[in-house]
Amino acid sequence: MAKQKNAFPPVNREEMRARGIDQLDFVFVSGDAYIDHPSFGAAIITRVLESRGYSVGVIAQPDWHSVEPFRALGKPKLAYLISSGNIDSMVNHYSVSGSRRSTDVYTEEGAAGKRPDRATIVYANRCKQAYSGVPLIIGGIEASLRRFAHYDYWDDRVRHSILYDACADILIYGMGERAIVKVADALQSGKPVAQITDIPGTCVRVSDAESAKGAVLLPSYTEVVKDKRKYAEAFAMQTREQDAVRGKHLIQPHEKGFVLCNPPAMPLSTKELDEVYALPYTRKPHPMYRGHIPAIDEVSFSVTSARGCFGNCNFCALTFHQGRVVTGRSHASILVEAEKMTWDPDFKGYIHDVGGPTANFRHPACAKQLKSGVCADRQCIGFTACKQLDTSEEDYVSLLRKMRELPRVKKVFVRSGVRYDYAMLDRDDTFLHELIEHHVSGQLKVAPEHVSDRVLKYMNKPPHAVYERFVQKYEAINKSLGMRQYLVPYLISSHPGSNIQDAIELALYLKEKNYRPEQVQDFYPTPGTASTCMYYTGLDPVTMQPVYVAKTREEKAMQRVLMQCHIRRNWPLVRKALRSADREDLIGSGRNCLVPPDYLSPDEQRANPARRTQPHGGNASRGGGKKSGGKGGYPPRRGRG
């Protein structure tokens, strides 16, 4: 079969004919606009299958209101592949408050509404209607995190495994290159999809538990719906077995059968990862789009240097998806990709990022992980760090130096998250010196998340004192280099474990540092995280001890506005929060006050003579602190981007 070099995978019958394809092996249905770039899962899976000789077409953002768009490329020979896109469709559509988002960066011109809610389920059911009997294989972040019975924040209830709601045959979770090739080869050999039940990195529906002898039996769907403790126990068991080396098969009874989850697929080796990123991506949106797709902006001139994350923050689902084992690409592979970038007509000399889930994680946390697997009941880094943790950043420093030396490159930025606690564990400060001198554009975004050690422990983040030491070192290095660059801290309100007193502690810290965030992040419960388990059950799944959870809209709003005491419209709710915590000492004109007293108009004062107060005109009316400057490495009046 003749193929055009670097041609886009076909999106219509005309492109199929141009490539000499009468019937596609696979049709990939995606909730994103089609961008043939390795930052997008649809592109990677499509190119990997093509490299193995399979033909794949893409139906991007089909109109789900009828079945016809799902027939656009004809009946696939082997299977439909279905993904909601690079982001969960519900997170894509709704803020944590439930309001509908007005834009979608993964769509042409950022238009909202081009994919349905629960896109994986909707697409799968339409594909089944389009051509009955064609195997349905679902994957991507939305499916991966919903592979078991899971709490759904938007419905405020426990839902079945998405395998049942989508009526899919196979669910591929995690990074799917290994699993999709094995599934494709099995289907190509003529093996019925119902018999493809043992591939690592997949989940399937089975009719009885006998098909999974030796599997760990999870509490059933019925049990986790009725008993929150059972839900927490099930989550703990799932995360404990999330390892490709020592992980066991898991089976969870559902009302109509059982979900069998095979152990995770082995992470790709450095050589295999290099091969994936060397595939002939065009790195562009498909030419069928006339408008701009915002999601391409940040990745066009960025390089993925590694996969996996051993940080394991409790509010992040990445570990449940990619796993804790970090694999880095080779320097040669990264430099080849970066050099190709520099010949792009739109390249201005700036590489936007060289990183991954965590920029300064480039290798496994310790030597034993690839041989023995990650520890079942111990963390690599978090509130405390394992003594066996390999803290060397030498390889990353070497890579960045090589990137800086590339012809036509003016500046190489690091915009992926940098784990400041990991950098502080490295006895050699070379990475921090070179990061600050060469790879920061005036401000560095880091994620302390909170200041209360009790809350930080529930987040699996380091104690606040570690962040304070990092701030001091960051300032000192800047000073030694004759530079003045700022830190922009990411902070989360109303995380499980955080009460109003904790939120007030955070507000006082922000006032002391003269930092006034323009945007703040309220904790968003999404499937697959320990924090979401705490939110739903009120239990820590590690200790099974009770955890305080702010659940009412009002309390969540109170914790959020306390991070923005400088905004006048927030003052009434800030006062209410302070009074509810018996902290009226923080309402007034004093230096330590968070908000001025209630202001009444002249008419209101005449009606309420006991509350005749005037608007406060000191620093508190501007949110506290000085007009400019800033302490602790913070920018004056800068917000979280």
Q: For residue range 271-296, list pLDDT tens digits in order.
A: 999 999 999 999 999 999 999 999 99
Q: For residue range 537-578, list pLDDT tens digits in order.
A: 999 999 999 999 998 999 999 999 999 999 999 999 999 999
Out of 210-219, 288-297, 350-359, 482-491, pick the least confident.
Answer: 210-219
Cα–Cα nearest to 354, from 412, 288, 273, 274: 412
The CATH architecture one would assign to domain 13-201 is 3-Layer(aba) Sandwich (3.40)
pTM of the model: 0.91
- What is the rounded average pLDDT for all residues in the chain? 91
pLDDT band at residue 518 using 50, 70 and 90 as cut-offs: confident
Out of 40-44, 163-167, 243-247, 606-610, pick the least confident.
Answer: 606-610
User: Domain residue spans in the chain?
Assistant: 13-201
Percent of the chain with pLDDT over 90: 86
Within 8 A by CB and 6+ apart from 520, the residues are 491, 493, 560, 563, 564, 640
Q: Cα 619–624–625 angle (5° rounding)?
A: 90
Cα separation of 55 and 47, whole Å? 10
Cα separation of 169 and 162, whole Å? 11
Give rounded-to-5 percent helix, strand, coil for the chain: 35, 15, 50
Q: For residue range 206-220, list pLDDT tens digits in order.
A: 998 877 778 999 999
pLDDT band at residue 609 using 50, 70 and 90 as cut-offs: low
Tokens found for residue 326: 């970090």
Residue 622, pLDDT above cutoff 80 = no
Count the neighbouring beta carbons within 10 Å of the beta carbon of residue 389: 15
Q: Where are the beta strands (DSSP E) in 139-235?
A: 150-152, 157-159, 170-172, 202-206, 216-217
Cα separation of 31 and 61, whole Å? 5
pLDDT band at residue 319 using 50, 70 and 90 as cut-offs: confident
